């Protein structure tokens, strides 16, 4: 079917066809012709690309009922899609965030530090909870608080999430998001990272410092555009049936450690 033939089709028919493609294809199709541009930008197309329960998720946001939340509902579906890609919204008590993967439209979640289980985390002798304004690094947090490691020998952090809230039939990666304060020590030792899903999981070595000598035997961190570091725990497949996924970081080398800033754990499609 050539462009001339397509251009005589009703715009709604073109929009329906485009809605069965992908966000990337819709953006490409908008360059074909004026009628394609109109069809590719329609609510009919972008409503399909948004998660089926996006309205419920927005209603559960921290800003629900505020002018910020109302402004989201007033956006076109295309504008809402890209807003949720670039501007994660906080959910529930503000310790979890939701966003959309720009290429696929799949759900992305992040568990803030307060949503994690941190051994000794409630003891001010070992950990300090600080506000975003107090961050000892250039990175900015989307959450009101992060955890700053003062001094521990046993470093252990766990996070859990139910796959039923994720996009189904999707391969996900889980990532530990953190920063290193200027005043830090003994963070060069390897830690063990693992992800457990349906009672299966293997631990592997990882290094918190990007310039760790001899770090070839484990995973090294990646510096993100938002100035945080990330290390991958592993990956899993979210099927149709909900299951519990647990992410685990363990550092038990016989030395005291300091200067780790915990932002959270992010889950996003691969």
Domain that residue 203 falls in: 109-269
Do both 252 and 141 map to the same domain? yes
Q: Classify residue 19: in a domain, yes or no.
A: yes
Do both 120 and 38 map to the same domain? no
The count of domains in the chain is 2
The predicted pLDDT at position 68 comes to 55
Q: Classify residue 91: in a domain, yes or no.
A: no
Q: Classify residue 73: in a domain, yes or no.
A: no
Vertex 84: Cα angle to 93 and 87 (nearest 5)? 70
Q: Classify residue 175: in a domain, yes or no.
A: yes
Average pLDDT, the chain: 89
Mention every residue, 6+ apart, whose C-beta is less than 8 A from residue 218: 190, 204, 205, 206, 207
Vertex 86: Cα angle to 85 and 89 (nearest 5)? 80
Q: Answer whether residue 174 shows pLDDT above 50.
A: yes
* pTM beyond cutoff 0.95: no
Listed residue (167, 217, 165) closest to 189, CA to CA: 217
Q: Classify residue 68: in a domain, yes or no.
A: no
Query: Contacts for 199-208 with beta carbons within 8 Å, 24 or more apart?
Result: 201/234, 201/246, 202/234, 203/248, 203/250, 204/234, 206/231, 206/249, 207/231, 208/178, 208/180, 208/260
How many Cα atoms are found within 13 Å in the side-chain-facing hemisphere of 244?
5
pLDDT in tens, 220-241: 999 999 999 999 999 999 976 7
Q: Classify residue 71: in a domain, yes or no.
A: no
Q: Answer whether residue 65 shows pLDDT above 70.
A: no
Q: How far apart are CA 175 and CA 26, in angstroms?
A: 30
CATH number (domain holding residue 161): 2.60.120.260
Do both 150 and 26 map to the same domain? no
Residue where a domain terminates, one of 11, 30, 47? 47
The predicted pLDDT at position 80 comes to 96
Do both 125 and 20 map to the same domain? no
Tokens of 66: 């505020």
Q: Answer whether residue 1 shows pLDDT above 50.
A: no
pLDDT in tens, 24-63: 999 888 888 888 888 889 999 999 999 999 999 998 888 6
Do both 159 and 233 map to the same domain? yes
% of the chain beyond a pLDDT of 90 = 65
Q: How far apart are CA 150 and CA 148, in angstroms?
A: 6
Q: Classify residue 174: in a domain, yes or no.
A: yes
Q: Classify residue 220: in a domain, yes or no.
A: yes
Do both 26 and 137 map to the same domain? no
Do both 20 and 117 map to the same domain? no
Greater model confidence, 202 or 171: 171
């Amino acid at each position: 079917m050539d462009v001339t033939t397509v251009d005589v089709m009703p715009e709604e028919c073109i929009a329906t066809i485009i809605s069965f493609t992908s966000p990337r294809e819709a953006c490409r199709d908008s360059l074909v012709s004026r009628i394609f541009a109109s069809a590719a930008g329609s609510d009919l197309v972008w409503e399909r690309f948004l998660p089926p329960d996006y309205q419920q998720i927005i209603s559960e946001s921290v800003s629900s009922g505020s002018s910020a939340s109302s402004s989201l509902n007033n956006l076109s579906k295309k504008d809402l899609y890209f807003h949720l890609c670039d501007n994660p919204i906080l959910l529930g008590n503000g310790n979890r965030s939701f966003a959309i993967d720009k290429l696929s439209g799949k759900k992305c979640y992040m568990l803030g530090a307060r949503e994690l289980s941190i051994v000794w985390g409630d003891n001010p002798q070992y950990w300090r909870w600080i506000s975003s304004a107090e961050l000892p690094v250039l990175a900015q947090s989307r959450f009101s608080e992060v955890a700053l490691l003062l001094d521990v020998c046993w470093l252990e952090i766990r996070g859990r999430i139910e796959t039923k809230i994720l996009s189904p039939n999707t391969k996900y990666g889980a990532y530990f998001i953190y920063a290193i304060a200027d005043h830090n020590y003994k963070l060069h030792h390897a830690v063990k990272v693992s992800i457990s899903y349906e009672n299966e999981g293997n631990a592997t070595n990882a290094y918190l410092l990007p310039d760790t000598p001899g770090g070839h035997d484990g995973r090294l961190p990646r510096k993100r555009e938002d100035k945080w570091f990330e290390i991958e725990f592993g990956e899993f497949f979210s099927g149709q049936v909900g299951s519990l996924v647990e992410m685990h970081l363990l550092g038990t080398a016989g030395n005291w450690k300091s200067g780790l800033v915990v932002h959270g754990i992010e889950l996003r499609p691969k």
